[in-house]
Amino acid sequence: MSHADLTDSDREQLSALAISTDEIERQLALFRKPRRFMRLVRPCTVGDGIRRIREDEADELLAHHREAAAQGRFSKFVPASGAATRMFRDLLVYQKGSRRDADWSSVVEQAREGDSSARTLITFMDELQRFAFWGDLHAITGPVQTGDFLPVLDALLEPRGLGYEKLPKGLLKFHSYPDRARTPFE
């Protein structure tokens, strides 16, 4: 597409959005010849791609942030894609949804009939101790009996428990290491 390919309607819309035709050309060039993906070698860590902010720097850096935001050079940083609600969708069917009153034998029967939410719940309960958040969850629930899923789901998802339903995914314990479990942010 070139300047000549734009209709009068296109030009009106671009003008209303304060987008120049040169900017449109720049964006279209990105589609025609996209940037190559970088090959990641290792995660960033403090001292290797990440610099820890000292307490005495905080006020000055916040002032820089406010200035950049006021000038439209920075709006927000989103390191993880929102709350984990979608991640726990199948479990929420049994924790808050229409199947909250289901017993374990019903869940097993639903799984046998091919229900994906039931299969997810069974796998979740069977593999519970393998999750990075297991230690925190176990501290709330104590020993868990097979099929006793509702107290586990409440402890995992509700704010009075771990509150995982509403937390950003970056704050969920995902990674288990010998010394402790870590979140993606860590």
| pLDDT for the residue 166 | 85
176: left (phi over 0), alpha (psi -120 to 50) or beta: beta
Q: Please, which residues bridge with residue 175 across strands?
A: 182
Distances (CA, A) of 131 to 5, 52, 134, 142, 172: 55, 29, 5, 15, 11
| pLDDT for the residue 117 | 94
| pLDDT for the residue 114 | 95
**Is 137:162 a contact under the CB 8 Å cutoff?**
yes
CA dihedral of residues 120, 123, 127, 131 (deg, nearest 10)? -10
Range of weakest confidence among 26-35, 51-60, 94-103, 109-118: 26-35
- Residue spans per domain, the chain: 1-39, 86-182
Instruction: Provide the percentage of residues in the chain whose pLDDT is more than 90.
Output: 45
Distances (CA, A) of 88 to 42, 76, 121, 180: 29, 26, 10, 23
DSSP SS3 for 103: coil
Mean of pLDDT values over 73-91? 68
pLDDT higher than 60, residue 81: no
pLDDT bin (cut points 50, 70, 90) of residue 153 is: very high
Kindly provide the residue ranges of all beta strands, DSSP E only, lying in 128-185, ordered along the sequence.
175-176, 181-182
CA distance 24 to 112: 54
Range of weakest confidence among 17-26, 58-67, 82-91: 82-91
pLDDT bin (cut points 50, 70, 90) of residue 3 is: low
Instruction: Look at strands 181-182 and 175-176 and give their pairing.
Output: antiparallel
End-to-end C-alpha distance for the chain, whole angstroms? 44
pLDDT higher than 70, residue 74: no
Distances (CA, A) of 124 to 19, 50, 95, 128, 156: 49, 34, 13, 6, 12
pLDDT higher than 60, residue 2: no
